[in-house]
Amino acid sequence: MCGIVGYAGNRQAAPIILDGLTKLEYRGYDSAGVAVSDKNGDIDIIKAKGKLKVLYGLTDGGNKLNGLCGIGHTRWATHGEPSENNAHPHCNDDKTVVAVHNGIIENFSPLKAKLMRRGYSFYSDTDTEVATKLVDYYYKKYGEPLRAISEFALHVRGAYALAVLFKEFPGKIFAIRKDSPMVIGYTDGGAFLASDVPAILKYTRNIYYTDNHEIVSLSNDGVVFYNLDREEIRKEYTVISWDAEAAEKGGWEHFMLKEIHEQPAVVRNTVNYFLHDGKLDLSELNLSDEYFKDTESIIITGCGSAYHVGVVAQYILEDIARIPVRVEIASEFRYRKPVLNGKELVIVISQSGETADSLAALREMKEQGIRTLAIVNVLGSSIAREADSVFYTKAGPEISVATTKAYSAQLIAMYMIALKFAKVRATISEEYYTQLKNELLLLPEKIETVLGSKEQIQKFASEMMDKQDVFFIGRGIDYAVSIESSLKLKEISYIHSEAYAAGELKHGTISLIENGTLVLGILTQSKLTEKTISNLVETASRGAYVAVLASENTLGIPDSFKKVFRIPQTDEHFSASLAVITMQLFAYYLSVLRGNDVDKPRNLAKSVTVE
């Protein structure tokens, strides 16, 4: 949520900052702003409501702002509506302290009241203006930026990545983070700061991941890190191995379409990384076979699509590894008082590794002494760093707000973990274990086959584009795919949809079925197919337009169903990996046909770092 970029070096700052912000626009896009300080430290600020292109226009691509040091921001509104006034950067009254911020200052109200009593006035609804003026207050009190920032950190509650310019320190940026991401880079050409690596990857691959409460000062001469006591600390950088192009559209119409098509490669990379010479090797997780044997139950938690991966995994783990599993929405789980005995494994799934609720759930579990395993895509992210073990998915940077390839990679991670549990606990035969491993190797090709039927799905989407309501139904893993399909559709097409366990529909929701309501049935679980077909027939009898997505071998589909899409046969435990592709394409084409901004759907942001 919100993206920040900073640059201090020997080149004009504003064009670099705007370029960086374009790579972060997935994080928020309701307003944007940039501040640049010249050689005397005088700071110019330009802000605009709307997407970044408005700011580009206003600043002539940054050329209207002169100076070698600056900060910029693209916003996803939390406090106050999207407007120029609420856009960042914010400043003190004489523009000598200017800041951008990503996160939420939870105690901003009492702090604001306190600052008002000390003579400060406020002109926006944001917590960031409070943060800026708090820094200003301590700067005036102690006359020193590092002290001002550490005092700020001691007095605020919440999450922040904060970057500040001080007029009296031309050419320097001071920054700090807590629970909101911030990466730092340095090259001959200067120092960079950003919410995410793609924003600065063009300039450097050497990235420092900052920890909570680390302060950093950036200038053309280098980057220096400090702790809250303002003592200098040494940090190692990580060399990023993926290319800047991986985070570019590369000729595709949208990032989402590109990322959908990257799924065979992503699945192949993740499978091949952990499965070689016929052996499944999860040694990277640092969990002994004994541990896999002794674990009494598994709790899987995450938000949105990551949570949906957990729902798929629950069916598989319980079926093949015979271990009790519960799946919890992280925003609920973090505030529950679960009954635990210390023999659970908590698996936190997150693409970004920064989702506030998932991170909080992880911390809650760690505090209770429960072992945690993170399935994360972004290297060095908070969840990855704080979990006891990490399974890094190999999806590469995912830019589109609607997740596709990261979801697919997370499924693979869960399949492998389930296989490991099953093998160690000897709950499946050696033969079946080998068969499942072989099936994993075949998934990329099968995903390619599903992608090959995209024209058919596009045509279907064009026939369905005026639908007001869509229902996705299925049983077992097909239900898990239904909830993901429904989220994908809502998120980018803005068509209302619901996902139901097929047997549950008649307990109330079937009253919503009218003439022409689209009901999409998913039929990949052979033992449950007949049951779901009966439920679909019940909706057809009430006027529904029924379409189904079935495996190659699924039999008994009534002729009265209006459309049948097929996916290749796979082991039924893995069918989510194929079924979801059709549904992603369906949502994608509907979004395009309805003229929506596919990659940046309204009201959303990619990385949800607020509660």
Exactly one of 133, 405, 454, 606 is catalytic; which is it?
606
314 binds ligand M6R (CB under 6 A): no
Contact pick of 16, 303, 413, 470 for ligand M6R (by CB under 6 A): 303
C-beta closer to ligand M6R: residue 180 or 217: 180
Exactly one of 345, 401, 428, 502 binds ligand M6R (CB under 6 A); that residue is: 401
Burial of 83 from C-beta contacts in 10 A (0-12 / 13-18 / 19+): middle
CB 73 within 8 A of CB 33: yes
Residue type, 47: K
- For the bound state, the minimum distance from the C-beta of residue 358 to ligand M6R, rounded and expressed in Å, comes to 5
Exactly one of 37, 314, 331, 403 binds ligand M6R (CB under 6 A); that residue is: 403
Q: State in angstroms the smallest separation of the CB of 599 from ligand M6R.
A: 11
Q: Give the C-alpha separation, 183 to 193, whole Å.
A: 6
Q: Which of residues 357-376 bind ligand M6R (CB under 6 A)?
A: 358
DSSP 212-277: TT-EEEEETTEEEEE-TT--EE----EE--S-GGGGS-TT-S-HHHHHHHTHHHHHHHHHHHHEET
**N-to-C CA span, the chain:** 11
606 counts as catalytic:
yes
Q: List the structure tokens of 581.
A: 């592709």
- For residue 381, give both structure tokens: 């992210």
- Closer residue to ligand M6R (CB): 351 or 582: 351
Could you tell me if residue 254 is left (phi over 0), alpha (psi between -120 and 50 degrees) or otherwise beta?
beta
**Pair type for strands 190-194 and 3-9:** antiparallel
- A 10 A CB-CB count for 510 gives 17
Nearest 5 degrees, angle CA 361-CA 488-CA 461?
Answer: 175
CA distance 12 to 149: 26
Q: Active-site residue 2, yes or no?
A: yes
Q: How far is the CB of 248 from ligand M6R (least distance, A)?
A: 20
Q: Is residue 355 within the footprint of ligand M6R (CB under 6 A)?
A: yes
The continuous run of DSSP H or E covering 54 comes out as: helix 52-59
CB of residue 303 to ligand M6R, shortest distance in Å:
4
State yes or no: residue 35 binds ligand M6R (CB under 6 A): no
Contact call for residue 382 and ligand M6R (CB under 6 A): no
Q: Of 2, 69, 91, 303, which residue is the catalytic one?
A: 2
Q: By C-beta, is 21 or 306 nearer to ligand M6R? A: 306
62 belongs to the binding site for ligand M6R (CB under 6 A)? no
351 touches ligand M6R (CB under 6 A): yes
CB-nearer residue toward ligand M6R: 31 or 404: 404
Q: Which is nearer to ligand M6R, 525 or 607 (CB)?
A: 607
Within 213-232, which residues bind ligand M6R (CB under 6 A)? none
In single-letter form, the type of residue at position 607 comes to: S
Question: How many C-alpha atoms does 204 have within 13 Å on its Cβ side?
Answer: 20
Size of the site for ligand M6R (CB under 6 A): 16
Q: Where are the alpha helices (H) located in 349-500, listed in sequence order?
A: 356-367, 382-386, 405-424, 430-451, 454-464, 477-493
Region near ligand M6R per CB under 6 A, out of 251-259, 280-288, 293-301, 344-352: 344-352
Q: What's 282's DSSP letter? A: -
Does 352 bind ligand M6R (CB under 6 A)? Our answer is yes
Among 19, 151, 344, 491, binds ligand M6R (CB under 6 A): 491
Q: Which span sits near ligand M6R by CB under 6 A: 388-396, 397-405, 436-444, 494-502? A: 397-405
Nearest to 195 by CA among 350, 48, 381, 393: 381
Query: Does 350 contact ligand M6R by CB under 6 A?
Result: yes
Shortest spacing between CB 195 and ligand M6R, in angstroms: 13
Q: Which helix (H) or strand (E) holds 319?
A: none
**Cβ-based neighbours of 331, under 8 Å, separated by 6 or more:** 303, 357, 611
Least distance CB 471 / ligand M6R (angstroms): 19
Min dist CB 488 to ligand M6R, Å, is 6
- Cβ closer to ligand M6R: 220 or 352? 352
Is 397 among the residues that bind ligand M6R (CB under 6 A)? no
The reply on whether position 402 binds ligand M6R by CB under 6 A is yes
| Position 482 contacts ligand M6R (CB under 6 A) | no
Task: Name the site residues for ligand M6R (rule: CB under 6 A).
Answer: 303-306, 350-352, 355, 358, 401-403, 487, 491, 607-608
Please list the active-site residues.
2, 606
